[in-house]
Amino acid sequence: MEYIAVLDLGSSKMLAMVASKDDRQSILAMEQIDSGDSIRRGLIYRTTEAASKIAELIRRLNKKLDQANLPPLKQIYIGIGGQGLHTKTHSVQTTFEESRMVDDQLLDSLRDRCQNEKNGTFELIENISPEYYVDGQQELHPQGVRCDQLEARFQLILGHFFPFRTEVEEALKKENVDIIDTLVSPIATAEQVLTLREKERGCALVEWGAGITYLSVYKEGLLRHLIAIPLGGHTITKDICNLDKTEVEAESLKINEGSAWVDDETNELNTVIEARADEIVVNILRQIEISGYGKVLNAGIILTGGASRLTGLDKLLEQQTDKSVRWVEENPEQSCARGMLQLGNENCAKEMPKVNNPATKTGTLFGEEDIETKQSHEIKKEKGLLNKLKKKVGEATVTATKGLFD
């Protein structure tokens, strides 16, 4: 049987999932492991610890595949995201001395011109499908049209690229597993959670995780704004610890007794929770305002992510934003992994073809210095997102936020 395998590296848990290539909703195997202190705000922080946990997760997953009489894992898709992830619009124009017909080669050349785009310390992760303007007029499909000037407005996804250090790659290779490709985590989540109608009418997707909250704004079927807010459920847990509680006790209180929204009398616990949850919502509102689409989100807000299970969070969002909120009730913590399964295209039970002289680049893991090794490593630069992803996501207008989100 052919199957797709994905790995979602969350700040709280690492989740690996396998689904049939013919039916992506048919989960064949699933395993998860606590991230511990190896991942912070969506970024790998301790490489050796992360590598060890990933290897253990792969072993567990292969054991389940074996029990199901399925072939062992050979390749896997990895989700990338983390603090600093954001979108930016980049326009590329070309003017001709004589009118010429637009063809695929010309469109590819415009895309290639985006590849060296830089934005401070951030790297270009992917340039998503553009909007085209032929002689100043928008044209969805410009192929075959004659023009004097052609403009393509690309959505650039910028962030700290997912460079796998030697330790991580070796850990996977010891389990005979290669990284087939990387997928942008919040875009994968949108693939699983949002309907085409919601994307068309306009909506804000809030993925509330343990260490980070992603906001994605869609309108007219296109991604318009994406930002990572470095606050999440774990921030609330830390605040509860100030009530003289251990982290384990604080997490339990948050889940079992806490609420982000209380209609009448409140208590000390919920006062703490509400204060931090309200701060995160304020940041979400600010980013929706920056997107320029706040007044036209007719499908409201869609809430998902593992930390979205906090009682009253949906009501707080409704009250603060004056928008309808749809909460993803079924396995919200799996939204990203299940979306990655939808975007995957290759049979992960098949070995990856060997390539001579692979392209490499150097840098620190997710843009952060690893506190264990504090060394630079040569890493493998994976190819961009799948063509399927490029076709499904559109143009965005965004202003990169400084300070808190860097």
pLDDT in tens, 275-324: 999 999 999 999 999 999 999 999 999 999 999 999 999 999 999 988 99
Interval 172-185 mean pLDDT: 91
Q: Are 205 and 195 in contact (CB under 8 A)?
A: no
The C-alpha atoms of residue 230 and residue 397 are separated, in whole angstroms, by: 21
Which residues in the chain are classed under CATH 3.30.420.40? 188-334
108-153 confidence digits (pLDDT tens): 888 888 876 666 678 888 888 688 999 999 988 899 999 999 999 8
Which residues in the chain are classed under CATH 3.30.1490.110? 86-159
From residue 74, alpha-carbon distances to 5, 100, 237, 343, 346 in Å are 9, 46, 38, 18, 11
In this prediction the pTM is 0.83
391 pLDDT above the threshold of 60 = no
Q: How confident is the model at residue 162 (pLDDT cuts 50, 70, 90)?
A: low
pLDDT cut 70: percent of the chain above it: 83
The C-alpha atoms of residue 175 and residue 163 are separated, in whole angstroms, by: 19
Interval 8-31 mean pLDDT: 94
Q: Are 51 and 171 in contact (CB under 8 A)?
A: yes
Q: What is the DSSP letter of 236?
A: H
Q: Which has the closest alpha carbon to 236: 312, 336, 322?
A: 312
**C-alpha angle 246-247-249 in degrees, rounded to nearest 5:** 65
Superfamily of domain 188-334 in the CATH hierarchy: ATPase, nucleotide binding domain (3.30.420.40)
pLDDT score at 404: 47
pLDDT score at 118: 64
pLDDT score at 389: 43
pLDDT score at 357: 47
165, HSE (Cβ side, Cα atoms, 13 Å): 27
371 pLDDT above the threshold of 70 = no
Residue type, 14: M
Provide the CATH topology of domain 86-159: Dna Ligase; domain 1 (3.30.1490)
pLDDT score at 359: 44
239 pLDDT above the threshold of 60 = yes
Q: Which has the closest alpha carbon to 103: 135, 145, 139?
A: 145
Residues 6 or more apart whose Cβ sits within 8 Å of residue 369? none
pLDDT score at 121: 76
Q: What is the DSSP letter of 289?
A: H
pLDDT score at 358: 43
Residue type, 286: R
Give the burial class of 263: count Cβ atoms within 10 A of its Cβ; 0-12 exposed, 13-18 middle, 19 or more buried: exposed
What's the mean per-residue pLDDT of the chain? Answer: 85
40-51 confidence digits (pLDDT tens): 888 888 888 999
